[in-house]
Structure 1
Amino acid sequence: MPIITVLPHAELCPAGASFDAASGTSICDALIAHDIAIEHACEKSCACTTCHVIVRQGFNSLVPSEEEEDDLLDKAWGLTSVSRLSCQALVANADLTVEIPKYTINHAREHYDKDWDV
């Protein structure tokens, strides 16, 4: 099973994390299942950018993004050439290292219980 390594994020994952993730699982679902409360204001429907992540390792193992995701990513804070919406990026067979950006374009952070989403 691929391993997702999450780089430290001051609020969501201060110490960083590393865990197994099943192939075919979205990065967003994998993060939530491991108590990393990444924002996903559109309920993972590819309608916002709050679940934006930067894939520092393993980016090329992901299925390429579609035009709808690319259009939304243009609005994301801290966009890079290896940015993805974690709700759309499915884990393949390679290990991933992801960084959760410091900010989102969301004005207010929602509280999500992981049991509601996965």
Structure 2
Amino acid sequence: MYNITFKFEQKGLEPITIEHVEADQSILEVALKNDIDLHHNCGGVCACSTCHVYIEKGDDLVEELSDREEDFIDRAVNPRLNSRLSCQCILNSGGSGNIEVTLPDQTQFLGE
């Protein structure tokens, strides 16, 4: 089981920790199941960069970055070395640990 802490760059939003998260689901799925608003224009199929997040801790607990994902991260707003697409961060089977994710300020998508 995993514990995932979601932090937010957007002002006024407090961190949210989700405990006892089962493996084999994406960070995006976990966020949506727990009413955390995380944009995902393509529906989570690695065809855009709107579900872009920063993995602050626990990057070894999710699937590795693919070439396709890396191509889309290059198109994200303010990509960093720890940037990932949350739809592609699948929690490793049989694993456990703590993951910290920061959601970039998503107010730039309000006009979409």
Q: TM-score of the superposition, structure 1-length normalised?
A: 0.82
Unaligned runs of at least 5 residues, structure 2: none
Offset at residue 52 of structure 1 (A): 0.4
Identity %: 28
CA–CA distance in 2 between the matches of 1:19 and 1:107?
A: 26
Query: Where does residue 14 of structure 1 map in the other structure?
Result: 13
Moved more, 14-23 or 33-42: 14-23
In structure 1, the partner of 2:54 is 54
d(CA) in 1 for partners of 2:104, 2:73 = 13
Deviations 1:3-42 (A, max 9, x none): 000113437x811100122111100000011110100000
Check conservation: 1:24, 1:90, Cα contact below 8 A.
Answer: yes
Number of residue-to-residue matches in the alignment: 108
**Structure 1 runs not aligned, ≥5 long:** 110-118
Q: Which runs of 4+ in 1 moved over 2 A?
A: 8-11, 103-109
Are the equivalent residues in 1 in contact too, given 2:55–2:83 (CA < 8 A)?
yes
Do the aligned partners of residues 30 and 77 (structure 1) sit closer, same or farther apart at CA in structure 2, a change above 3 Å counting?
same
1: CA distance between counterparts of 2:111 and 2:45?
Answer: 19
* Larger displacement relative to structure 2 (88-97 or 51-60): 88-97
RMSD: 2.0
Aligned residue number for residue 115 of structure 1? none
1:71 aligns with 2:78: no
